[in-house]
Amino acid sequence: MKKMIGLIIIMVLVVIMLTTYIKKQVDKSKEIDENAIGYEIDLEKEGLEKGQLAPDFTLKTLSGETFHLSDLKGKKVVLNFWATWCPPCKIEMPHLQEYYEQYAKEEDFVIVGVNLTHTEVSKEKVNQFVDSYELTFPILLMEEKGVDDLYQILTIPSTFMIDSEGRIQNHIVGPLDQNKLEEYVSNLK
Protein backbone atom coordinates (compact mmCIF):
# COMPACT_ATOMS: atom_id res chain seq x y z
CA MET A 1 0.00 0.00 0.00
CA LYS A 2 2.83 2.42 0.87
CA LYS A 3 4.52 1.63 -2.45
CA MET A 4 1.28 2.42 -4.30
CA ILE A 5 0.87 5.76 -2.51
CA GLY A 6 4.53 6.57 -3.17
CA LEU A 7 4.10 5.69 -6.84
CA ILE A 8 1.01 7.89 -7.12
CA ILE A 9 2.83 10.80 -5.49
CA ILE A 10 5.76 10.38 -7.88
CA MET A 11 3.38 10.26 -10.87
CA VAL A 12 1.63 13.44 -9.73
CA LEU A 13 4.98 15.19 -9.29
CA VAL A 14 6.10 14.08 -12.76
CA VAL A 15 2.86 15.39 -14.28
CA ILE A 16 3.31 18.71 -12.48
CA MET A 17 6.91 18.99 -13.66
CA LEU A 18 6.00 18.11 -17.25
CA THR A 19 3.10 20.56 -17.22
CA THR A 20 5.36 23.30 -15.86
CA TYR A 21 8.07 22.55 -18.43
CA ILE A 22 5.61 22.53 -21.34
CA LYS A 23 3.99 25.73 -20.14
CA LYS A 24 7.40 27.43 -19.93
CA GLN A 25 8.22 26.30 -23.46
CA VAL A 26 4.89 27.61 -24.78
CA ASP A 27 5.41 30.89 -22.91
CA LYS A 28 8.88 31.29 -24.42
CA SER A 29 7.54 30.82 -27.92
CA LYS A 30 4.75 33.39 -27.56
CA GLU A 31 4.72 36.99 -26.52
CA ILE A 32 2.15 37.17 -23.75
CA ASP A 33 0.86 40.42 -22.30
CA GLU A 34 1.78 40.66 -18.60
CA ASN A 35 -1.89 41.08 -17.70
CA ALA A 36 -3.17 38.26 -19.89
CA ILE A 37 -5.41 35.78 -18.16
CA GLY A 38 -5.54 33.05 -20.79
CA TYR A 39 -4.13 33.03 -24.28
CA GLU A 40 -5.48 31.51 -27.44
CA ILE A 41 -3.60 28.70 -29.16
CA ASP A 42 -3.29 28.59 -32.92
CA LEU A 43 -5.44 25.55 -33.59
CA GLU A 44 -3.72 24.72 -36.87
CA LYS A 45 -0.38 24.36 -35.06
CA GLU A 46 -1.88 22.17 -32.33
CA GLY A 47 -3.40 19.71 -34.79
CA LEU A 48 -7.03 20.66 -34.18
CA GLU A 49 -8.43 22.88 -36.87
CA LYS A 50 -10.72 25.83 -36.26
CA GLY A 51 -14.13 24.78 -37.54
CA GLN A 52 -13.39 21.07 -37.04
CA LEU A 53 -16.12 19.07 -35.34
CA ALA A 54 -15.24 18.68 -31.69
CA PRO A 55 -14.23 15.05 -31.12
CA ASP A 56 -17.06 13.25 -29.33
CA PHE A 57 -16.40 11.36 -26.13
CA THR A 58 -18.25 9.56 -23.36
CA LEU A 59 -17.39 10.01 -19.68
CA LYS A 60 -19.12 9.55 -16.35
CA THR A 61 -20.31 12.48 -14.25
CA LEU A 62 -19.58 12.80 -10.54
CA SER A 63 -22.96 11.21 -9.88
CA GLY A 64 -22.17 8.24 -12.15
CA GLU A 65 -24.36 9.22 -15.11
CA THR A 66 -23.08 8.71 -18.66
CA PHE A 67 -22.32 11.91 -20.57
CA HIS A 68 -21.80 12.24 -24.34
CA LEU A 69 -20.46 15.53 -25.68
CA SER A 70 -22.52 15.03 -28.84
CA ASP A 71 -25.70 15.32 -26.74
CA LEU A 72 -24.96 19.05 -26.46
CA LYS A 73 -25.14 19.71 -30.22
CA GLY A 74 -27.28 22.82 -30.69
CA LYS A 75 -25.76 24.50 -27.62
CA LYS A 76 -22.64 26.59 -27.27
CA VAL A 77 -20.15 24.67 -25.10
CA VAL A 78 -17.25 25.82 -22.95
CA LEU A 79 -15.22 22.62 -22.53
CA ASN A 80 -12.72 23.05 -19.69
CA PHE A 81 -9.99 20.56 -18.72
CA TRP A 82 -8.75 20.90 -15.13
CA ALA A 83 -7.43 19.20 -11.97
CA THR A 84 -7.68 19.91 -8.24
CA TRP A 85 -3.89 20.19 -7.85
CA CYS A 86 -3.59 22.87 -10.56
CA PRO A 87 -3.20 26.40 -9.07
CA PRO A 88 -4.44 28.23 -12.22
CA CYS A 89 -7.51 25.93 -12.23
CA LYS A 90 -8.26 27.05 -8.68
CA ILE A 91 -8.06 30.68 -9.81
CA GLU A 92 -10.36 30.04 -12.77
CA MET A 93 -13.14 28.00 -11.12
CA PRO A 94 -14.95 30.85 -9.30
CA HIS A 95 -15.05 32.80 -12.60
CA LEU A 96 -16.46 29.82 -14.50
CA GLN A 97 -19.11 29.21 -11.85
CA GLU A 98 -20.20 32.84 -11.57
CA TYR A 99 -20.39 33.29 -15.34
CA TYR A 100 -22.35 30.05 -15.65
CA GLU A 101 -24.84 31.09 -12.97
CA GLN A 102 -25.37 34.52 -14.49
CA TYR A 103 -25.49 33.84 -18.21
CA ALA A 104 -25.94 30.16 -19.12
CA LYS A 105 -29.69 30.32 -19.70
CA GLU A 106 -29.67 33.79 -21.25
CA GLU A 107 -26.88 33.00 -23.71
CA ASP A 108 -27.84 29.32 -24.20
CA PHE A 109 -24.48 27.77 -23.41
CA VAL A 110 -23.15 25.14 -21.04
CA ILE A 111 -19.83 24.83 -19.27
CA VAL A 112 -18.52 21.27 -19.01
CA GLY A 113 -15.62 20.65 -16.67
CA VAL A 114 -13.49 17.60 -17.47
CA ASN A 115 -11.43 16.62 -14.44
CA LEU A 116 -8.19 14.76 -15.17
CA THR A 117 -9.17 12.20 -12.54
CA HIS A 118 -6.36 9.82 -13.54
CA THR A 119 -3.93 12.44 -12.14
CA GLU A 120 -5.83 12.95 -8.87
CA VAL A 121 -5.19 11.37 -5.48
CA SER A 122 -8.83 10.21 -5.27
CA LYS A 123 -12.35 10.88 -6.50
CA GLU A 124 -13.14 12.11 -2.99
CA LYS A 125 -10.63 14.95 -3.53
CA VAL A 126 -12.52 15.91 -6.70
CA ASN A 127 -15.84 15.86 -4.80
CA GLN A 128 -14.35 18.05 -2.05
CA PHE A 129 -13.06 20.51 -4.64
CA VAL A 130 -16.42 20.70 -6.43
CA ASP A 131 -18.24 21.18 -3.10
CA SER A 132 -15.81 23.83 -1.86
CA TYR A 133 -16.23 25.89 -5.04
CA GLU A 134 -19.99 25.15 -5.16
CA LEU A 135 -19.77 24.15 -8.82
CA THR A 136 -23.12 23.51 -10.49
CA PHE A 137 -22.08 22.94 -14.10
CA PRO A 138 -21.49 19.34 -15.25
CA ILE A 139 -18.24 17.82 -13.96
CA LEU A 140 -16.95 14.78 -15.84
CA LEU A 141 -14.38 12.29 -14.59
CA MET A 142 -11.61 11.25 -16.97
CA GLU A 143 -10.38 8.24 -15.02
CA GLU A 144 -8.03 7.11 -17.79
CA LYS A 145 -6.05 9.03 -20.37
CA GLY A 146 -7.80 9.39 -23.68
CA VAL A 147 -9.96 12.46 -23.99
CA ASP A 148 -6.98 14.69 -23.13
CA ASP A 149 -5.05 13.04 -25.96
CA LEU A 150 -8.03 13.41 -28.29
CA TYR A 151 -8.01 17.16 -27.62
CA GLN A 152 -4.19 17.31 -27.52
CA ILE A 153 -4.12 18.82 -24.03
CA LEU A 154 -0.59 19.70 -22.94
CA THR A 155 -1.30 22.27 -20.23
CA ILE A 156 -4.20 22.83 -17.86
CA PRO A 157 -6.45 24.60 -17.50
CA SER A 158 -7.22 24.26 -21.17
CA THR A 159 -10.55 25.41 -22.59
CA PHE A 160 -12.24 24.84 -25.93
CA MET A 161 -15.03 27.07 -27.22
CA ILE A 162 -17.42 24.96 -29.27
CA ASP A 163 -20.22 26.52 -31.30
CA SER A 164 -23.81 25.28 -31.53
CA GLU A 165 -22.94 23.20 -34.59
CA GLY A 166 -20.37 21.29 -32.52
CA ARG A 167 -17.36 22.96 -34.15
CA ILE A 168 -14.25 24.12 -32.29
CA GLN A 169 -13.79 27.87 -32.55
CA ASN A 170 -11.06 28.58 -29.97
CA HIS A 171 -8.59 26.85 -27.68
CA ILE A 172 -7.46 28.88 -24.67
CA VAL A 173 -4.60 27.80 -22.39
CA GLY A 174 -4.51 29.25 -18.90
CA PRO A 175 -7.21 30.50 -16.56
CA LEU A 176 -10.14 32.53 -17.88
CA ASP A 177 -11.89 35.33 -16.06
CA GLN A 178 -15.46 36.50 -16.62
CA ASN A 179 -14.47 39.17 -19.16
CA LYS A 180 -12.60 36.66 -21.32
CA LEU A 181 -15.43 34.14 -20.99
CA GLU A 182 -17.93 36.75 -22.13
CA GLU A 183 -15.72 37.70 -25.07
CA TYR A 184 -15.33 34.11 -26.28
CA VAL A 185 -18.92 32.96 -25.61
CA SER A 186 -20.43 36.03 -27.29
CA ASN A 187 -18.46 35.25 -30.44
CA LEU A 188 -19.90 31.72 -30.68
CA LYS A 189 -22.88 31.06 -32.95
**CA–CA separation, 88 vs 133, rounded Å?**
14
- Which of 87, 77, 82 has the alpha carbon at shortest distance from 148? 82
Residue type, 95: H
Contacts 24+ apart (CB under 8 A), 13-20: 15/119, 16/85, 19/86, 19/154, 19/155, 19/156
Neighbours of 183 (CB within 10 A): 13
The residue from 78, 89, 111, 112 that is catalytic is 89
Contact partners, residue 113, CB within 8 Å, separation at least 6? 80, 82, 96, 135, 137, 138, 139, 140
> Looking at the DSSP assignment, which residues form a beta bridge with residue 53?
167
21, 13 contact by CB (below 8 A) = no
86 is catalytic: no
Residues with catalytic roles: 89
